[in-house]
């Protein structure tokens, strides 16, 4: 093969590929816009990474003017931006902010919005490219999509593109996810749908691919021959806060496992993709999710655990029981903790358990993937340790906080008598790259503007993840009711979670 014939299999998208466009935010007066989207857009503006002339049009039920929206956005940026507000950059950015109000299922409101969009596009000379962001409760997704479809039929699409970013949760079970996919596909082609899981925008999550596939030493040991088991933990110290009524209809499995944890699992377990592009990476993620062994009801009882927190103390503060949180019914049976053991029936991972756990009101906030390797084949140094077993090598990938990678191995303590002690080779993003990383939303918004869907979830991924979770939900539904609450706030979850892993002779990691 000559150099000229070689194909570039990666598809880096430069900033110059960002077309002029309008971002339409549904839910513009909501919490997500305030805390994440506006600060992210402002930071992109600060770095000069937004397309020239970009307009942002907010839409929600709140009756704001353009000026009120701008004022609100300024406050949000001042409060939540990772970098301070620069007045000159702000003025320029704010001149592109507009607002229109109306109900999400209200045709008149959407017509007003469409009119506003046409005015703004004409005034700023930015054509008809639109990125719709559904920063709204999932109950309104279908209404908005249908209205977008109706409005689109009324206008000639021409050469411009329309993309839609849809926040999680995408469905509440397999059937609803399929139905939502169907509705979305009546208006948008799959290539224009960007199901966002902000975990995928985190630098450390993206670094999983780099770590695995840009380092030659990893791939040979990344399999059942060398890996004993994998643990994925997403723990939160906070409770449900003001999201009680939403969360109570969701629970830990739907809120965390189906999306964030399944994505982490897929990135850790997937086969090497042919290229780092939206098609190849997502193809491999789907394959590995489809290889996850599905539970039957008996296995759900043995290989999963769930819990709900009672009152306790977290980080030196008294924490109420879940059932005492705002918006949560007194007799709620929603799980705030979920743990499970999965197997992936593939050549690479046959027989390797993947232990997953997530919960609210756990002792600390931490997201980590830990790959525990099998012990050395011959115990030459057994006499030099005081534990019955040599500590295994563990590669831990910390997603948050203190993003980094750590490898634990045994070393000899200097001196005599001989003694072994674990030590860690620790890579911390913060100290190795002394620069602030962009927020996940900055990364993902820019990717969506550039049409790069690699870090977004495809419809078949969503279906694959729900197929796994549906079995768990059905199993839980058929089991006798649990005594709830069954763990104290500030502890690592119910005893059943410990029993789940200890039955296999293993323990959850101390985080």
- CB neighbour burial string for 98-130, b if at least 16 within 10 angstroms, e if fewer: bbbbbebeeeebbbebbebbeebbeebebbbbb
Instruction: Specify the residue, 395 or 463, whose C-beta has the smaller distance to other proteins.
Output: 395
Q: What's the closest the beta carbon of residue 75 comes to other proteins, in angstroms?
A: 22
Instruction: Specify the residue, 390 or 511, whose C-beta has the smaller distance to other proteins.
Output: 511
Instruction: Assess 396 for contact with other proteins (CB under 8 A).
Output: yes
Considering only residues 490 to 509 of the shown chain, the ones binding other proteins according to CB under 8 A are 490, 509
Nearest to 213 by CA among 290, 154, 284: 284
Alpha-carbon distance 115 to 113, whole Å?
A: 5
Alpha-carbon distance 232 to 371, whole Å?
A: 9
Q: What single DSSP character describes residue 457?
A: B
Choice from 78, 329, 430, 507 touching other proteins (CB under 8 A): 430
Q: What tokens appear for 95 in the block?
A: 């001149």
Known catalytic residue: 80? no
Choice from 408, 465, 468, 485 touching other proteins (CB under 8 A): 408
Instruction: Assess 203 for contact with other proteins (CB under 8 A).
Output: no
Instruction: Specify the residue, 64 or 313, whose C-beta has the smaller distance to other proteins.
Output: 313
Instruction: Assess 80 for contact with other proteins (CB under 8 A).
Output: no
Judge contact between 242 and 406, C-beta under 8 A.
no
Q: What tokens appear for 1 in the block?
A: 């093969």
Q: What's the closest the beta carbon of residue 314 comes to other proteins, in angstroms?
A: 6
Instruction: Assess 316 for contact with other proteins (CB under 8 A).
Output: yes
Q: Looking up tokens 């977290």, which residue turns up?
A: 314
Question: CB neighbours of 189 closer than 8 A, spacing ≥ 6?
Answer: none
Alpha-carbon distance 508 to 396, whole Å?
A: 13
Alpha-carbon distance 20 to 124, whole Å?
A: 10
203-213 helix and 262-269 helix, angle to the nearest 10 degrees: 20
Instruction: Assess 366 for contact with other proteins (CB under 8 A).
Output: yes
Choice from 53, 103, 149, 312 touching other proteins (CB under 8 A): 312
Instruction: Assess 431 for contact with other proteins (CB under 8 A).
Output: yes
**Tally of residues, the chain:** 511
Q: What's the closest the beta carbon of residue 322 comes to other proteins, in angstroms?
A: 17
Q: What's the closest the beta carbon of residue 156 comes to other proteins, in angstroms?
A: 51
Applying CB under 8 A, the site for other proteins has a residue count of 41
Alpha-carbon distance 476 to 474, whole Å?
A: 5
Choice from 17, 428, 479, 495 touching other proteins (CB under 8 A): 428
Choice from 52, 351, 375, 401 touching other proteins (CB under 8 A): 401
Instruction: Specify the residue, 26 or 355, whose C-beta has the smaller distance to other proteins.
Output: 355
Instruction: Assess 313 for contact with other proteins (CB under 8 A).
Output: yes
- Among the candidate windows 98-106, 258-266, 414-422, 473-481, which touches other proteins by CB under 8 A? 414-422
Instruction: Assess 326 for contact with other proteins (CB under 8 A).
Output: no
Choice from 277, 284, 368, 461 touching other proteins (CB under 8 A): 368
Q: Looking up tokens 């949000």, which residue turns up?
A: 76
Nearest to 152 by CA among 119, 104, 118: 118
Instruction: Assess 311 for contact with other proteins (CB under 8 A).
Output: no
Please pick, among 110, 198, 229, 260, the residue that the annotation labels catalytic: 260
Alpha carbon distances (Å) from 357 to 42, 215, 230, 233, 322 = 35, 28, 11, 5, 18
Instruction: Assess 407 for contact with other proteins (CB under 8 A).
Output: no
Judge contact between 458 and 282, C-beta under 8 A.
yes
Please give the residue ranges that form the binding site for other proteins (CB under 8 A): 237, 312-318, 363-366, 368, 370, 385-387, 394, 396, 398, 401-402, 406, 408, 413, 415, 419, 421-424, 426, 428, 430-432, 434, 490, 509-511
The catalytic residue positions are 260
């Amino acid at each position: 093969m000559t150099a000229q014939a070689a194909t570039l299999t990666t598809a880096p998208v430069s900033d110059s590929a960002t077309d002029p466009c309008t971002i339409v935010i549904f839910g513009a007066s909501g919490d997500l816009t305030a805390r994440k989207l506006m600060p992210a857009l402002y930071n992109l503006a600060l770095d000069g990474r937004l397309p020239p002339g970009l307009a942002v049009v907010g839409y929600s039920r709140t009756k704001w003017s353009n000026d009120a929206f701008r004022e609100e956005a300024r406050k949000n940026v001042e409060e939540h931006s990772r970098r301070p507000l620069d007045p000159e950059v702000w003025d320029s950015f704010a001149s592109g902010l507009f607002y229109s109000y109306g109900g999400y299922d209200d045709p008149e409101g959407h017509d007003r919005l469409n009119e506003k969009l046409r005015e703004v596009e004409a005034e700023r000379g930015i054509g008809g490219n639109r990125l719709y962001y559904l920063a709204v409760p999932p109950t309104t997704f279908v209404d908005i999509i249908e209205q977008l479809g109706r409005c689109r039929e009324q206008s000639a699409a021409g050469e411009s593109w329309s993309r839609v970013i849809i926040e999680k949760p995408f469905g509440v079970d397999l059937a609803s996810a399929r139905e939502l996919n169907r509705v979305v596909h009546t208006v948008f082609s799959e290539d224009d749908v960007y199901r966002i899981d902000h975990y995928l925008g985190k630098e450390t999550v993206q670094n999983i691919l780099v770590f695995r596939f840009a380092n030659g030493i990893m791939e040979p040991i990344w399999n059942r021959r060398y890996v004993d088991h994998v643990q994925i933990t997403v723990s939160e110290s906070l409770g449900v806060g003001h999201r009680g009524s939403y969360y109570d209809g969701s629970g830990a499995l739907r809120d965390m496992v189906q999306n964030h944890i399944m994505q982490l699992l897929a990135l850790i377990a997937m086969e090497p993709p042919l290229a780092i592009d939206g098609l190849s990476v997502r193809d491999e993620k789907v394959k590995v999710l489809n290889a996850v062994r599905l539970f039957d009801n008996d296995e759900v009882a043995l290989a999963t655990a769930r819990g709900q927190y009672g009152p306790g103390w977290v980080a030196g503060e008294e924490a109420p029981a879940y059932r005492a949180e705002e918006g949560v019914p007194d007799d709620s049976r929603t799980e705030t903790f979920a743990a499970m053991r999965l197997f992936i029936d593939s050549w690479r991972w046959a027989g390797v358990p993947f232990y997953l756990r997530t919960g609210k009101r756990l002792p600390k906030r931490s997201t980590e993937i830990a790959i525990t390797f099998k012990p050395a084949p011959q115990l030459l140094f057994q006499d030099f340790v005081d534990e019955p077993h040599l500590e295994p090598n563990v590669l831990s990938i910390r997603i948050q906080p203190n993003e980094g990678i750590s490898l634990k191995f045994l070393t000899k303590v200097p001196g005599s008598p001989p003694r072994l002690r674990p030590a860690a080779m620790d890579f911390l993003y913060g100290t190795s790259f002394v620069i602030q990383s962009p927020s996940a939303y900055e990364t993902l918004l820019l990717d969506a503007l550039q049409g790069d869907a690699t870090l977004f979830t495809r419809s078949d991924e969503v279906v694959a993840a729900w197929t796994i979770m549906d079995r768990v939900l059905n199993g839980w539904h058929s089991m006798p009711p649990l005594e709830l609450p069954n763990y104290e706030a500030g502890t690592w979850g119910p005893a059943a979670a410990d029993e789940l892993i200890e039955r296999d002779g293993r323990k959850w990691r101390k985080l």
